[in-house]
């Protein structure tokens, strides 16, 4: 026992010193480790923050891209929708105009059919009057006495003139063509007498009617032919421009 106590007392100061040194070293190392860890944390902090910022930025950019892409897609769809609407509107307008042209063409056809029927009836009446003097007397509205023979001639002259007028009214003959046709008819003296004998008939027409307009053109042509100083009658008179 005495030996053990002496050994403990003999070793104690050294052990205590060693223990103190070890403890100090441990504490120093631990303190240094903490400082290093803190330094590492401080150093790593900005990088991590930057990484988070990059991550957030990438996410935000992706989100922005996604948001931007959505309106873009919507815009594309909208453009396609607008184009489709314009295309539909254009088709509807084309169909409307086509329908209008068809209605106008049908109206012209009906008008020409009515004019042709009226012309046929008029010619039938003239033929009956030319073949029956008692019927021709009904059409005798001249201001001078006209023999039955001359009246039949006048009725035939009227049939020729009305036939040319009818061709113009249904667009089978232009106004310029009608002018040249009437210039040929004016070379016949019986026709010229008929035209002079019926001047009061034309005065009763509506001035805006086709027959009245052609009648005035004919009157000018007769005057030009009468005052012409050339035997080349086929060049006399200015063809109408309208």
**Mean predicted confidence (pLDDT) in 169-187:** 95
Q: What Å distances lie between residue 134 and 102, 130, 151, 152, 242, CA to CA?
A: 47, 10, 12, 12, 42
For the chain, list the strands marked E by DSSP.
none
Question: How far is Cα of residue 230 from the mean position of the Cα atoms in its chain?
Answer: 54
Question: Rounded CA gap, 183 and 195, in Å?
Answer: 13
Residue with the bigger pLDDT between 60 and 177: it is 177
- 140 contact partners, CB below 8 Å, separation of at least 6: 146, 151
User: Which of 77-86, 104-113, 145-154, 160-169 is least confident?
Assistant: 77-86
Question: How far is Cα of residue 181 from the mean position of the Cα atoms in its chain?
Answer: 41
Please give the helix or strand (H or E) that residue 206 lies within, else none. Answer: none
Q: Are 120 and 128 in contact (CB under 8 A)?
A: no
Residue with the bigger pLDDT between 94 and 128: it is 128
Question: Rounded CA gap, 44 and 31, in Å?
Answer: 19
> Where does the pLDDT of residue 53 fall: very low under 50, low under 70, confident under 90, or very high at 90 and above?
very low
- Residue 72: pLDDT above 50? no
- Residue 153: pLDDT above 70? yes
User: For the segment 32-48, what is each residue's pLDDT rounded down to a tens digit?
Assistant: 555 555 554 454 444 44
């Amino acid at each position: 026992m005495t030996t053990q106590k002496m050994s403990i007392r003999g070793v104690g100061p050294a052990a205590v010193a060693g223990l103190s040194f070890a403890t100090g070293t441990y504490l120093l190392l631990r303190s240094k480790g903490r400082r290093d860890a803190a330094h590492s944390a401080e150093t790593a902090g900005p990088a991590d923050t930057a990484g988070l910022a990059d991550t957030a930025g990438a996410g935000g950019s992706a989100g922005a891209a996604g948001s931007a892409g959505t309106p873009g897609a919507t815009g594309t769809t909208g453009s396609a929708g607008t184009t489709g609407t314009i295309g539909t509107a254009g088709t509807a307008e084309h169909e409307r105009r086509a329908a209008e042209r068809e209605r106008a063409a049908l109206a012209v056809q009906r008008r020409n059919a009515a004019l042709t029927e009226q012309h046929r009836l008029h010619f039938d009446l003239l033929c009956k009057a030319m073949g029956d003097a008692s019927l021709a007397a009904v059409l005798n509205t001249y201001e001078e006495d006209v023999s039955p023979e001359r009246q039949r001639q006048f009725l035939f002259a009227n049939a020729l003139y009305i036939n040319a007028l009818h061709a113009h009214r249904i667009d089978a003959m232009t106004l310029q063509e009608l002018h040249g046709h009437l210039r040929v008819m004016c070379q016949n003296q019986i026709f010229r007498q008929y035209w002079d004998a019926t001047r009061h008939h034309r005065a009763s027409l509506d001035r805006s009617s086709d027959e009245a307009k052609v009648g005035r053109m004919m009157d000018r042509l007769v005057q030009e032919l009468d005052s012409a100083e050339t035997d080349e009658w086929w060049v006399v008179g200015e063809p109408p421009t309208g």
